Structure 1
Amino acid sequence: MAEDRPLSGPTAPLKPDTGRAGIVLAGGESARFPTIDKALAPLSGTPLLAHAVETLVPIVDELFVSCRYRQVEEFESVLSDFDVRFIPDRISGRGPVFGLRDTLSETAAAYAALLPCDMPYVPTAFVETLFTRARNHTGALAQVDGQAQPFPAAIHVRAGQDACTTAIRSGDPSLPRFIDELEPIVISEPEVFAHVPDRAFTNINTPDDLLDQQKRPL
């Protein structure tokens, strides 16, 4: 059954195809975090979700969090200092491409930055670089370990919606299929690491990952 989608925080309207949106994807089931939602797990005293939001806030005109309906109340609490709209999945449990399509449909911005809640070290300046490189393209993302990475990314909003829809209709609503359909430009690995430190692409996937990162200064 489709879920109602509450919104949080006033957002100034954008003219169609202008401005920038920021989207944090935080709707995963956190299966490997049995005692806490991964998005709420603290790193240096700050929830991972808030780290992601803080990365995007300085360079976007409006900010969205893609999540599940039951996450909204707790997410609102930890993000009370930010102007954020929460976009719960229409149907939960179908993966990030569905949530991304739902969220892209809520903005009139031309481009959107995409960031998952579990990448706390992505520099704001690198997301700005992705926005710059995405201009006049369907999107821009980074090559790491020889592969185009879905996050972080800057994408053209309408092209992103189309790529999500095509991937979903193909029966393969995966992030790799989404990238294939989007056909973004890919920043080469040497150029990427000229801009960012190695740990910029660290994912916090398990409690052990979090414990390991807690031992290191931000």
Structure 2
Amino acid sequence: MAHPAALLVCIEHQAGALRTLQAAAAPHPPRRPPQPCHTQTFSASRSSTAWPSPGEETEVSEPGGAQELEEDRKSPGRSPKDVEESGYLSPLCPGEPKPERLARRETLREMALRSKMSRLVEATSRLVQVEQTLLLPLLQQHPLPLHPKDSIEFRNICSHMALQREGQKFERDLDEAHQCLKIIIEKLICSLAVFPSDSYIPVRSALRQILQNLLAI
């Protein structure tokens, strides 16, 4: 059985993890996407233009010729396929994904990670508050089994995650932090089952609500 001092140790480590999570969740400048590799194309007629021989008459194109070509290229009746085949649009490098599809996939992934991080920060903050205001007074009446090592591990995971910022290691640490906090809350709920009076019910209800919000999808 643990006394209030053990709970204060847990709260201290959880509060340290919360500060780390809040710093890691702060917005940071996004990385610049790679520039698409375009291949420059030229029309065959231009590359095969021959210089006139001495004595031959040089045919000068009319001033409106270039403008007519430009208007023909911008004509609404021409499909994007026709324009691309004519050489006016530069294709992407072989094997390169379309920019709009890549951007959409990254946006959805970032939104999912941001939502998961937000729920972790909110659950940690709420847990510290419940422990300070509701659980600590109960421990002064009756000792409860606590597990400070879980809170220490939770803080270490959050500290390691903050160093990653992004990538697969960051996602793995985020999953581990979620799982560790889930275990902490579940153990607290089980510990309250041995409390001799009904005064533990508000604490248990608050912990269950925190757990539900943490696991929400």
TM range (shorter): under 0.3
Q: Which has the larger radius of gyration?
A: 2
Structure number having the greater helix percentage: 2
Relative contact order, CA 8 A, sep 6+: which one is greater?
A: 2
Using the size of structure 2 for normalisation, the TM-score is 0.27
Q: Which structure has the highest strand share of the two?
A: 1
